[in-house]
Chains A and B, each alone.
Chain A
Amino acid sequence: MSLRRKTLIAAGLTTLIVIGVFYLSARLILLKNYEDVEEQTMRDNIERTRNALDGQLEIMTSSVGDWSYWNDTYNYMRGDYPDYIEANIFDANYISLDVNGMLFIDKDGNLLFGQEFDGRSIGLSDELREAIYADEALIFQPDEPDPLRSTSGILMLSKRPVMIASRAVLTGNQEGPLAGTLIWIRYLESNRIADLAAQVKFDLSLYRLDQALPSDVQAIRDQLSVDQPDTVQVLNQDRVAGYALVNDLNGNPAMILRIEVPRTLYQQGARTILYFILFMLVLAGVAAGGLLILVERFILSRLSRLNDEVRRVGSRANFSERITVVGDDEIAELAGAINHTFAALEKADIALRQAKESAEEANLVKSRFLASMSHELRTPMNAILNFSEFMVDGFMGPVTTEQSDALKKVIASGDHLLSLINDVLDITKIEVGMMELFIEKVDLNAALDSVMATAKGLMRDKSITLQEEIQANLPILMGDKRRIRQVFLNLLSNAIKFTAEGSIMVTARQEGQDIHFMVKDTGVGITPEDQHLVFEAFRQTRHGIDAGGTGLGMPISKHLVETHGGRMWLESVVGKGTTFHVVLPIHSPEAVIKQKGIVA
C-alpha cells in the first residue's frame, strides 16, 4: 500500500474516531445535563401549576373575606338585614365573582341560605351540604379562638371536585362577636382547568383517584406517595410529562395533576450537540484535509520526487548526478545522505573505471609487447635455425660428426625456444581474452594419426609402448584444426615427458554429441594437492619443474578445449599414472564461439 493511501486511511480513521468519541461524550455528558435540567424544569412546572391552583383558592378565599367581613353580611347573619340575599345574590354576581355556590350558616350551625350556580341558580345539592357539615374546620363555632382564620381546599364530590373556601362572618372592622360562617365554592371543571392551563401555558389535566385512571396514569399513581408527591416521565423524543398528587381539604391524595410539555430544552440540547458534531465533522474534515495537504506537500510529494530522482540516477547508473536537496529537515537530510552515497559510489565507480582502463591498457600494452617480442624473436630464429640446418645438411661444406651433433643441439634448442615463444604468446592471448579460433571442418582421425606419428618420434629414446584405441571414422568436428592438434600433441608429449617406462594409451570415441579423448600413462602421477596446479599458467608441479618446459601446455590446452565448448580434466594416482580427459562437442555451440569473439 502506498504511503499516500496509508496516510489517507490513518487520517480518515483518526478523524472518525475523534468525532465518535466527541459524539459519545457529548451525548453522555451534555445531553445528560440537558435531561437533568429538563427534569428540574418539569418539577418547577409542576410546582408552578400547583401554585396556580393554590393561587385560585387563595384568591377565592380572599374574595370570601371581602364578603364575610362586611357589615351587611354581618347584619344579615344576625337577622338584622332580611333583604340582603335579594340585594346581593343574583346570577350576574356569581359570574362576576366566578363562584358556583354560596352558603350562609349562622353561629348555631343553621343554614340560612345555600345556593349553587351552574349557569343559573339551582338548589344546594345534598351531597355538598353534607360534605360541608361533615368537616368541622369549615364551620366556625362562636368560641372560635382564631376568628380571622380561613379554611380552603378541594372537596371531592361525586359529580365533580370543587374548590371551597370558608371564613367567619365578622363586622366590617373584623370584630366579633362571630355571627356565622360564609362558604363559597367553585367547580373544578374542564373549562377551569383550561383556564389554568392557559395561565401556566402547557397541557394540563386532572384525574380523580376515586375513579378509574387511564393505564399510563395508573402506572404513575403507584410511584407517587406523600413522600414522593411528584415525578417526571419522558413520553417520547418530543414530549415529557410531569405528575403530581393533589390533596383534598383534609390532606388526603385526591387527584393526579398531569402536565405535558414539548421537550424544547432537550431537543434544543440534542440539536446543539448535532450542530456541534456537524461543526466538528466539518472542522475535522478541514483539519484532516489540511493535514493531508501539508503531509502531501511537505512529505509525500517530496518523497515521491526523491524516489523519482533516485530511480533516474539508478536507471542511468550515472552516480555523478545529484538529487535536489530542498529545505533542512529529515527528508533533506535523507536526500543529503543519498547524495553522499552517490558521491561514494561515483568515487568507487571512477576508481573502478580507472582500474579497468588501466588494466585494459596494461593488457593492450602487454599484447603489443608480446606481438612485437614474438616478431623480434622469430626473425633472428630464422637465421639460427636455417644456417644450422644448412650446415648440418652439408650445404656449407663438410662438417664433422661432432660439429653435426652440436649443430643439431642448436636446432633442437631453437625449436624449443620457438615453441616457448608460441606458448607464451598463446597464454598471453588467453589472459587478455584475445585467443582466436579458426573454425573449419576437422578430420579427427587424420589429426590423431599425424599427432601419433609425431609422438612416436618423441619417444624414440624411451622404452615406452604407445597403444591406441581410436574409433575409426570419427565424425567430422567443427573446430580449429591447428589448436586441436596442439591439444593432442600437448597431451601426448606431456605423457611421454612424465613416463619413464611402461605404456601410454590413447583412446578416442564418440559419446553422443561429444568426442571423448583419453591419454593414460603409467608415469609418476600427480598428488591430489598438486592436481589443480597442472591447469594454472606458470605453475608447475615439482616433477614438472624437474622435467623442464614452460608449464604452459596444459593451461593452454584446457583453455583451447573450453573455447571449443568442451571440458578437460585429469585423474591421477601417484606412482601409477595419470589419465587426461578431453571432451569436445562435435558442433561447438555457437554461443561459445560468439562469446569468445572467435573469428571463423
Chain B
Amino acid sequence: MNGQKNKPSFLYVEDDPLCRQVMDFLMNRVLEYPLTIFEHSENFMERVRALPQKPRVIFLDVEIRPHNGYIMIKMLREDDDYKTATVVAVTASVRLADVEAMKKSGFDGLIAKPIRNRLFPDLLRRILEGESIWSTA
C-alpha cells in the first residue's frame, strides 16, 4: 500500500550492540525499510516525538536502562499520538509469565530473541496487517 518512496518507518530501542546490528542489517539491508535505533531509553518520549516521521511499528527491548520496556510502553500509551501505535517487544525473556505481563501492559506482540531472519519477514508482514504476533520460539 505504500509506494517505494513512502515506505513505513520503524523504531527499535535496544542497548545490545550486536542485536542492534542484526536488526539494522535485517531492516535496512535485507528488507530495505528505514529503521531508527535508540541505543538507550533516556528522554524516550522527547526523542520519539522528535522523530521526523511517526514510526509504523515500534520495537522495544524489554531489559534496558534507564526505562525498561514496561515503562516505555506505559509512556507511549499515555501519549495521545502513540496511544494506539503498534508496539512489539523484542526480548529473550519469553517465559509465559513474561508474555502475560507484556500483554497486560499493552504490547501488541512479541518477537523472541534470537530473531529468526528466515521467519521475520513473514512475521513483520502479519504485524503490518494488524495481526497480534506472540512468537516466543
Contacts and interface: CB of A to CB of B under 8 A. Distances in A.
B113 interface: yes
Nearest to B137: A482
A389 B29 CA distance: 13
B29 to A, nearest CB: 6
Contacts of A90: none
B25 A395 contact: yes
B48 interface: no
B19 A383 contact: yes
Contact of A390 (B25, B92, B96, B116): B25
A381 interface: yes
B80 interface: no
Contacts of B36: none
A483 B74 CA distance: 31
Contacts of B5: none
Contact of B95 (A371, A379, A395): A371
A536 to B, nearest CB: 25
A584 B118 CA distance: 33
Contact of B114 (A371, A385, A390, A436): A385
Contact of A375 (B26, B29, B93): B93
A418 B92 CA distance: 12
Contact of B29 (A376, A381, A395, A438): A395
Contact of A436 (B91, B96, B117, B137): B96
Contacts of B131: none
A490 to B, nearest CB: 14
A457 interface: no
Contacts of A381: 113-114
Contact of A395 (B30, B63, B92, B118): B30
Contacts of A27: none
| Chain A interface extent, by class | 20 to 34
Contacts of B118: 389
Contacts of A386: 22, 25-26, 114-115, 117
A371 B101 CA distance: 15
Given A378-B113, A389-B118, A599-B100, A383 B18 contact: yes
Contacts of B91: 375
Given A379-B19, A382-B22, A383-B21, A436 B97 contact: yes
A382 B100 contact: no
A418 B114 contact: yes
A383 B93 contact: no
A389 B30 CA distance: 11
Majority-rule SS of A interface residues = helix
Contacts of A438: 96
A18 to B, nearest CB: 80
A249 B22 CA distance: 165
A548 interface: no
A67 interface: no
Given A380-B18, A381-B113, A390 B30 contact: yes
Contacts of A389: 117-118
Interface residues of B, number: 27
B112 interface: yes
A438 B118 CA distance: 26
A393 B91 CA distance: 25
A438 B94 CA distance: 13
B29 A382 contact: no
Given A382-B19, A482-B137, A375 B63 contact: yes
A375 B61 CA distance: 12
A385 B113 CA distance: 11
Given A379-B113, A382-B113, A390-B30, A599 B21 contact: no
A390 B117 contact: yes
A374 interface: yes
B16 interface: yes
A387 interface: yes
Interface in A402-440: 414, 418, 422, 436, 438
Given A383-B19, A386-B22, A387-B22, A378 B117 contact: no
A253 B63 CA distance: 144
The residue in B25, B117, B118 that gathers the most chain A C-beta atoms within 10 A of its C-beta is B117
Interface in A436-452: 436, 438
B96 A599 contact: yes
A205 to B, nearest CB: 124
A375 B118 CA distance: 21
A443 to B, nearest CB: 18
Interface string B1-23: 00000000000000010110110
A383 B118 CA distance: 14
A436 B136 CA distance: 14
A375 B113 CA distance: 8
Contacts of A395: 25, 29-30
5 contacts: A378-B112, A381-B114, A383-B21, A383-B22, A436-B97
**Nearest 7 pairs of A and B residues by beta carbon:** A378-B92, A382-B114, A383-B18, A436-B96, A381-B114, A375-B92, A386-B22
Given A379-B113, A395-B25, A395-B29, 5 more contacts: A381-B113, A382-B115, A386-B26, A395-B30, A599-B96
